[in-house]
Chain A
Amino acid sequence: MSISEAQKLNTDQGSVGIVDTQYYTFAKPPNELKLECGKSLGPVTLAYETYGRLNADQSNAILVCHALSGDAHAAGVHEGEDNPGWWEDMIGPGKAFDTDRYFVICSNVIGGCKGSTGPSSINPKTGQSYALDFPMITVADMVNAQRHLIDHLGIGKLLSVAGGSMGGMQVLQWVASYPERVRSAIPIATALKHSPQQIAFNEVVRQSIMADPDWRQGNYYEYGQPAKGLAVARMIGHITFMSDQSMEEKFSRRLKNGDYSFKFGADFEVEGYLRYRGDSFVKRFDANSYLYITKAIDYFDLSDRKLVSRDKPIDTRFLVISFKSDWLYPCYQSQEIVRQLKAGFIEATSCEVASTYGHDAFLVEVEEQTHLIRHFLEKTTYGNGTLESGI
């Protein structure tokens, strides 16, 4: 990136500008991170980014959690690159997560492949990639690792934890694991537990990767990714992220080359789109990470009052957002979250946003989410003071 471009980004309203990914390593042996599966992992590195400034009493920190294939790069751009963060529209000066007021943190989950310790990382015991020697991780383990980072940053209580999809599961897990450290929670387009249908999709995703001979029982790092299997796995994902209506609007039955080829090439635009998405995913995401992370979200289950129980009253406020056309994480699953909150007398707001974008809505429906999140965070920050001032 040229200097003038960088300056432009810096002065553009709403961008956090140039950002760096940072790394925090902890759980060095013998103090390894204990995992839910019973095994231990260490040392553990978390890649993370921060935006905005932590205030003097550390009360303005918001942890943003990414979805299945996301990473720590949630906003701004890296020096010399032009890829904005995955929630660029929501994080920045004057945006929903206003970096003029809040200190926003995002870290790559453990098990991931974007700088945090995962199956593609080098196992210090062997000098090789972990591959399938990597222990099975859960959403609770991801959150436990994030807690170490939050400790490291000197933050006692987070103003908010927010995220969509698998990020929303981490939000819920934060409240289940460390309610005293979360003032407010914003789970978006997510669920208390994976349904059989959701597990089924993930199983097809995993089988697709593992059926590729190039997967080599996970030991493919010297040879290259199981490209075919991983691409098909991602194609399945992209089908579930969109709604019937958004596919109709985006592709309809439009043809790539004007006519049927009467061959098995990509005749339809939707076929071309899925192939493109699949192939580009192979270049950016580790196949084993996809296996581990899909398994982690299949294991996720905070139903039956595991989120909030009456025996353990909490004062975390909730904003639960779902999208009407999301059939991967349908609104009824957000209502199940709300049901537990009602039973636990938790102060909460829920909103089913009218959107045709399906599950992708949490990344693209900026205006409604901004309205909801901005006001919710103001109320969380100032309490009834927002009422007095008539905000």
Chain B
Amino acid sequence: METERWNLESKDARLDHQIIFDLIEPGSKVLDLGCGNGELMYILTREKNVRAQGIEVDDTAVYECVKKGLSVFHSDIETGLVEYPDRSFDYVILNQSMQEVKKADFVIEESLRVAGKIVVGFPNFAYIKSRVMLFFQGRSPITPSLPYRWYDTPNVRFLSISDFTDFSREKHLRVLTARYLDDNGEIRWLPNLRALNAIFVLAKGNDTSAAAGAGEAAGIS
């Protein structure tokens, strides 16, 4: 019911936010790393009674969060994260922020220390138009999910869905959910080629059975 109500009310809501909103259990404790202006935390707090804490480095975004009545720490992700005791949260959300941190592997490891599950949303560098731009035009890709030019991008890590699937396997992370998005909605077929963005839910452990379908789908392309 809650989900439906929110979807009806917020036609302009970002699709990635809708997907993450559906994935988070009501009443859980959430740490949103790189929470931006707090849009996702706001809706989670209001509709799902989530106890949300944000960490955000941008001044203006911090003021926006405070205006929404949200709790946010003005800090970069790495230093903000390490200070938490183990298992402080049910979820850590790293949506569209992992690619902006240098030590992405460290941040994921730390996130899995402070929360049972982590939600990672990132732009797919192997999207077909990226490949075309790089291969045929010899230019750094610019796509709806990677809209920046080489000199003004906040991103420091560029990865594909297959890269991240490999990473999860190497680090013995359990992929609980994998969802893929293009401009119009969710896609299931050939995500590494066709998806602009991916959203993974990960937990610790080397049991990959939970993610068999997702892993294979990502591997096809």
Which positions in A face B, CB cutoff 8 Å? 317, 335, 338-339, 342-343, 345, 347-354, 368, 371-372, 375-376, 378-379, 384, 386-388, 391
With A372-B63, A375-B67, A375-B69: A342-B46 Cβ-Cβ less than 8 Å:
no
Interface residues on chain B, number (Cβ under 8 Å): 25
Indicate which residue in B65, B66, B68, B73 contacts A387 across the interface (CB closer than 8 Å). Answer: B68
Which residue on B lies nearest to A322, using beta carbons?
A: B74
A-side contacts of B49, CB under 8 Å = 384
Which residue on B lies nearest to A379, using beta carbons?
A: B69
By the criterion CB–CB under 8 Å, are B75 and A371 in contact? no
By the criterion CB–CB under 8 Å, are B63 and A371 in contact? yes
Q: How far apart are the CA atoms of A387 and B73 in the complex, in Å? A: 19
A-side contacts of B69, CB under 8 Å = 375, 378-379, 384, 386-387, 391
Which positions in B face A, CB cutoff 8 Å? 42, 45-46, 49, 51, 53, 59, 62-63, 65-75, 79, 83-85, 88
A-side contacts of B46, CB under 8 Å = 384, 387-388
B-side contacts of A349, CB under 8 Å = 65-66, 70-73
Which residue on B lies nearest to A383, using beta carbons?
A: B69
Which residue on B lies nearest to A391, using beta carbons?
A: B69
12 CB contacts below 8 A, A to B, read: A338-B75, A338-B83, A347-B53, A349-B66, A349-B70, A349-B71, A351-B63, A351-B66, A353-B59, A371-B66, A376-B66, A386-B69
CB distance from B73 to the nearest CB of A (A): 5
Q: How far apart are the CA atoms of A376 and B68 in the complex, in Å? A: 9
Q: How far apart are the CA atoms of A161 and B129 in the complex, in Å? A: 55
Which residue on B lies nearest to A385, using beta carbons?
A: B69
Q: How far apart are the CA atoms of A163 and B79 in the complex, in Å? A: 26
CB distance from B114 to the nearest CB of A (A): 9
By the criterion CB–CB under 8 Å, are B42 and A387 in contact? yes
Which residue on B lies nearest to A341, using beta carbons?
A: B73
A-side contacts of B66, CB under 8 Å = 349, 351, 371-372, 375-376
CB distance from A269 to the nearest CB of B (A): 32
Indicate which residue in A339, A343, A354 contacts B59 across the interface (CB closer than 8 Å). Answer: A354
Q: Is the interface of A mostly helix, strand, loop or mixed?
A: helix
Which residue on B lies nearest to A336, using beta carbons?
A: B83
Q: How far apart are the CA atoms of A345 and B90 in the complex, in Å? A: 13
Which residue on B lies nearest to A321, using beta carbons?
A: B74
CB distance from B61 to the nearest CB of A (A): 11
With A342-B88, A388-B46: A347-B71 Cβ-Cβ less than 8 Å:
yes
- In the complex, which of the residues B53, B66, B72 has the most CB atoms of chain A within 10 Å of its own CB atom? B66
B-side contacts of A378, CB under 8 Å = 69
CB distance from B168 to the nearest CB of A (A): 27
Q: How far apart are the CA atoms of A351 and B74 in the complex, in Å? A: 5
A-side contacts of B59, CB under 8 Å = 351-354
By the criterion CB–CB under 8 Å, are A345 and B88 in contact? yes
Q: How far apart are the CA atoms of A386 and B65 in the complex, in Å? A: 13
A-side contacts of B79, CB under 8 Å = 335
B-side contacts of A375, CB under 8 Å = 66-67, 69
Q: How far apart are the CA atoms of A254 and B92 in the complex, in Å? A: 54
Beyond A352-B59, A387-B69, list 15 extra A-B contacts (CB 8 Å): A335-B79, A343-B85, A348-B71, A349-B70, A349-B73, A350-B72, A351-B59, A352-B74, A371-B63, A371-B67, A375-B66, A379-B69, A387-B42, A387-B46, A391-B69
Nearest 7 pairs between A and B by C-beta?
A379-B69, A386-B69, A387-B46, A351-B74, A350-B73, A339-B83, A375-B66
